[in-house]
């Protein structure tokens, strides 16, 4: 006699409907036959994103914010990812509430795709946001190549 219970799988469709697919796999082993049962259930997710990260222009060295919020924030934990790797807070870039705050956007360190995961500790439900990236420009609003500062001297007679 054995049984296994699968994890919920979340699908975020390109419409306002969110679906939780969960499964239960039961294995019964009476001799000489084995029986397998697979039970699928479909139910609506109890929360959805009200704010998701959006791609945006940013100035190298300036502050920026990526937003992430859900409709029912009770029991929700937020985790931020960059290129599918979990982010760690630094002095320059850190999670502020549910949002990701950048004190100083860096054209090399912040190149990539950011996403937010919201998880409900009471139900085990997980939602993964859309991805967002920065179009990082230098002060003169051109795409950064080297982002070197230049010193200009003006002589006044």
Output the 3-class SS for 61-91: CCCEEECCEECCCCCEEEEEEECCEECCCCC
Residue 41: burial class (beta carbons within 10 Å; 0-12, 13-18, 19+): exposed
Helices (H) and strands (E) in the chain, counts: 0, 15
Note the pLDDT of residue 11.
42
Question: Does residue 20 register a pLDDT over 60?
Answer: no
Token digits of residue 90 = 């630094």
Instruction: Report the half-sphere exposure of 43 (CA within 13 A, side-chain side).
Output: 10
d(CA 103, CA 41): 44
Percent of the chain with pLDDT over 90: 58
Note the pLDDT of residue 45.
74
Q: What is the pLDDT of residues 106-125, one digit of tens each?
A: 999 999 999 999 999 999 99
Domains located in the chain, CATH noted: 2-44 (no CATH), 49-137 (2.60.40.10)
Note the pLDDT of residue 150.
39
Note the pLDDT of residue 46.
86
Q: Is 127 strand, coil or helix?
A: strand
Nearest in space to 136 (alpha carbons), one of 38, 55, 48: 55
d(CA 107, CA 112): 10
Note the pLDDT of residue 97.
98
Q: Is 23 strand, coil or helix?
A: strand
d(CA 136, CA 143): 6
- Which of the pair, 152 or 77, is modelled with greater confidence? 77
- Which of the pair, 91 or 31, is modelled with greater confidence? 91
Note the pLDDT of residue 71.
96
Beta strands 93-96; 99-102: pairing state: antiparallel
Token digits of residue 114 = 């950011």
User: Quick one: average pLDDT of 135-145?
Assistant: 73
Average pLDDT, the chain: 79
pLDDT-derived band of residue 70, with 50, 70 and 90 as boundaries? very high
Per the DSSP assignment, residues forming a β-bridge with 21 are 9, 42
């Amino acid at each position: 006699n054995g049984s296994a219970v699968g994890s919920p799988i979340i699908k975020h469709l390109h419409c306002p409907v969110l679906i939780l697919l969960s499964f239960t796999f039961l294995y019964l082993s009476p001799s000489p036959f084995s029986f397998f049962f697979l039970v699928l259930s479909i139910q609506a997710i109890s929360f959805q994103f009200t704010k998701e990260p959006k791609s945006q222009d940013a100035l190298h060295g300036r502050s920026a914010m990526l937003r992430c919020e859900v409709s029912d924030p009770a029991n929700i934990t937020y985790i931020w990812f960059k290129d599918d790797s979990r982010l760690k807070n630094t002095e320059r870039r850190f999670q502020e509430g549910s949002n990701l705050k950048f004190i100083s956007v860096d054209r090399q360190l912040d190149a990539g795709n950011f996403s937010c995961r919201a998880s409900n500790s009471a139900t085990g439900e997980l939602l993964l946001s859309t991805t967002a990236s920065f179009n990082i420009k230098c002060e003169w609003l051109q795409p950064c190549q080297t982002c070197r500062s230049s010193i200009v001297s003006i002589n006044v007679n």
